[in-house]
Structure 1
Amino acid sequence: MAILDKIILKRLSYVIYEHPDISRFDQFAKDFGFELSWTSPNNDIFYRGYGIDPFCYIARQAPEGQGKKFHGVGFIAKSAQDFQQACELPGAEVVNVTGRPGGGKMASVTDPNGYIIEVIYGQEDRPIPTKAISNVHDGLPNTNGAIEKKRKGIFNRLNEGPAMIHKLGHFGYITDNYVETCVWYTSHFNFKPTDIVGKGDGSGTDLMSFYHLDLGAEYVDHHCLLLASHDSNGKGTSVHHSSFEVDDLDTQMMGHRWLSEKGYKARWGVGRHIMGSQLFDYWVDTTGFVIEHYADGDVVNEDAPTIRSVGTPASIWGPPVPVWE
């Protein structure tokens, strides 16, 4: 399928999770750096960052007697035509989203592993922020390098509190249906692999792919979707993590300190990834889902080639990779 035939998605917007104890998660969400956007009549909680998305996380109460569940994600369609194409996908359903923050229209489709992909068009964005929300006091320059001294006569002071979220950056899941899943996303939508990591045993088998949205000359995040293959013993499909952008390393570290002092469980970090270059900090929420703060990620456009590698470590520096339960 040529790029002209694909549904062009403008950006990743939000994730949807179901929690057995949504009120307990609500306190974690605030400590993680989300702000309340809206509570729906059926008590779904919509959280936002300070970016343009009216919400970037939907938390739902899981049905009684059922456990946690990753429900799916929402993307913004680039045009009315792209939205119409999404409505015409096999199994697509047009859903009334009247009352949601930002409004608009929504088409819902299920991917090969049962996750819901919601495609939104006509949503009213929040204003573009004029500056980031940092834990650096008053947003003053705080880095004095060996040669360039930005902080002249100014002392470096940091504010206590959560690392405030800007936006949803990416989500990822791990599956035993890797090849079909990659084909489905790349054939229907404008996903393009930035990095593909192979097994490294000479078999030519791919282990994971980092996908960005191909918007031509426009720069976008290194990846908004990570698909990884189970090892030979893994079965089924499960969400790996969702990742939310914060402004800078100091903000990330103050957020780490805040979450640690609140007694939440750190998962992995702080460190620096190779794929995407992000500063990462993974946590476990009160339901058991892995959620990440990141800062300082790479951006790419149509000029960036797809890079293939084998046996690439997960980080440049940072703690050893934990066993992912």
Structure 2
Amino acid sequence: MHDPHSGIHSEAGGLPGEHPGRMRNPVIKVRDLAWLEFEKPDLRAAERFAHAFGFTTATRTPDELQLRGTDPGAPCVLVRTGTRSRFLGPTFHAADTADLVRLADATGTRVRPLPESLGGTCVELADPSGLPVRVVADTHVLDALPGQHALPNNVGGELRRVNATQRPPRAPALVQRLGHVVLQSTRFRRTLDWHLENLGLIVSDFLYFDGQRHRGPTMAFIRCDQGSVPSDHHTLAMTLGPANRYVHSAFQVADLDAIAAGGEYLLGEGYRRSWGIGRHVQGSQIFDYWRDPDGFLVEHFSDGDLFDNTLEPGWAPMTASGLAQWGPPATKDFLGIARGRESITEVRSMFHSLREDNEWDLDRLRGLMKVAAT
């Protein structure tokens, strides 16, 4: 039996000659994930779910919905009207405009202005999997909103609450900020290296298919390099798979009570939990996953790891049981193998990709099938 508590980050590092998890001289170093962009046919349904999930509407027009958290900054999700539901790509914050000029020069692009509703400027790129990637600077900063605070807990001998009760409201868990996005690529290694080289991201943890470590990693949890300033364990995670697609995105909330009470509110509104509540291994976050009306997977999380740039990547085998330290087993819905349109599309992609020029082959297919069984 696989022990999900073994091989946690610092207990297993890289071997000589394995991927170092960072580039020596990246073009720039982005400082954070700015926002995610989607296209959806029904903005009203998207906004209803967003409010139940804990977002606040920053801007609403007939053609676009900008959603934000309570922290100051740019909106963290942009939704545009479209004929079908699709993920349009991630946007990262550069440190300043000078970095945008440097990135544009290195990639043969140019710095463009953003719409007035967002402000600032951007460089528009595409990674090796074909996904549009934006890098922005000097965007408008929205003021902070009243937030949801973590409840005071009596832990062990530390008394923080006396003559007072706990009564967390069964209400939306207020989103504080965008934490990370997870993407799947048929060209995992090339796409990983592109992000490390151009955006200066660094790897916190690598996962590999059991018995295939010699072929290199198949998943990477990647953080921003802010030097001695701690950064989220992963701002971007990437995994090898048979199709280039969005996997999920994650949004920070106050604490476990916010996650649990907010989950009860979502259930009461008729929305569907995908997997949770539990605590991850890589990143350590307390998590809860939900499906929005368009089928996109979104996560509430709290209490994630923060690393500075001194930590080297951890290495561990990829298994379904190793996704959480505690909580219910990973569901078929979360793993993408539940019966339905998504699983059918993924199965078709598995065999179609075997005929394409990419990193997906029969050994990788066997490795991925083994993941769900261990």
TM-score norm. by structure 2 comes to 0.78
Paired residue for 2:179?
A: 169
Equivalent of 2:290 in 283, 287, 299: 283
Paired residue for 1:49?
A: 69
1:192 paired to 2:202:
yes
Equivalent of 1:229 in 240, 243, 264: 240
Kept in 2: contact 1:220–1:299 (CA 8 A): yes
Kept in 1: contact 2:35–2:74 (CA 8 A): no
- SS at structure 2 position matched to 1:182: helix
Equivalent of 1:156 in 166, 186, 195: 166
Q: Which amino acid aligns with 2:80?
A: R
Bigger strand share: 1
CA deviations over 1:213-255 (Å, ceiling 9, x no partner): 111101110000000112xxxx221110010000111011111
- SS at structure 2 position matched to 1:254: helix
Q: How many Å apart are 1:316 and its aligned residue? A: 0.3
**Structure-2 separation of matches of 1:173 and 1:202:** 21
Q: How many Å apart are 1:108 and its aligned residue? A: 1.2
1:273 paired to 2:280:
yes
Q: Which amino acid aligns with 1:30?
A: H
Kept in 2: contact 1:3–1:190 (CA 8 A): no
Q: Which amino acid aligns with 1:175?
A: S
Q: How many Å apart are 1:178 and its aligned residue? A: 0.8
Paired residue for 1:218?
A: 229
Equivalent of 1:133 in 148, 157, 182: 148
Q: How many Å apart are 1:79 and its aligned residue? A: 2.2
Paired residue for 2:47?
A: 26
CA deviations over 1:192-211 (Å, ceiling 9, x no partner): 00000121215423121000
Q: Which amino acid aligns with 1:80?
A: T
**Structure-2 separation of matches of 1:54 and 1:214:** 20
**Structure-2 separation of matches of 1:89 and 1:292:** 35
Paired residue for 2:261?
A: 254
Paired residue for 2:328?
A: 319
Alpha carbons of structure 1 residues 222 and 203: separation in structure 2 relative to 1, 3 Å:
closer
**Structure-1 separation of matches of 2:186 and 2:74:** 34
The count of residues paired between Structure 1 and Structure 2 equals 310
Equivalent of 1:6 in 8, 27, 30: 27
TM-score norm. by structure 1 comes to 0.90
- SS at structure 1 position matched to 2:249: strand
**Structure-2 separation of matches of 1:315 and 1:176:** 25
1:117 paired to 2:97:
no
CA deviations over 1:63-105 (Å, ceiling 9, x no partner): 3xxx32110111111122211123234363544323224x111
Q: RMSD over aligned Cα, in angstroms?
A: 1.9
Kept in 1: contact 2:27–2:103 (CA 8 A): no
Kept in 1: contact 2:26–2:196 (CA 8 A): no
**Structure-2 separation of matches of 1:124 and 1:68:** 27
- SS at structure 2 position matched to 1:206: coil
Q: How many Å apart are 1:4 and its aligned residue? A: 4.7
Gaps of 5+ in 2: 1-21, 337-374
Bigger helix share: 2
Kept in 2: contact 1:92–1:108 (CA 8 A): yes
Alpha carbons of structure 1 residues 305 and 46: separation in structure 2 relative to 1, 3 Å:
same
Q: Give the structure, 1 or 2, with the largest relative contact order (CA under 8 Å, sep 6 or more).
A: 2
Kept in 2: contact 1:15–1:72 (CA 8 A): yes
Q: Which amino acid aligns with 1:315?
A: A
**Structure-1 separation of matches of 2:307 and 2:185:** 26
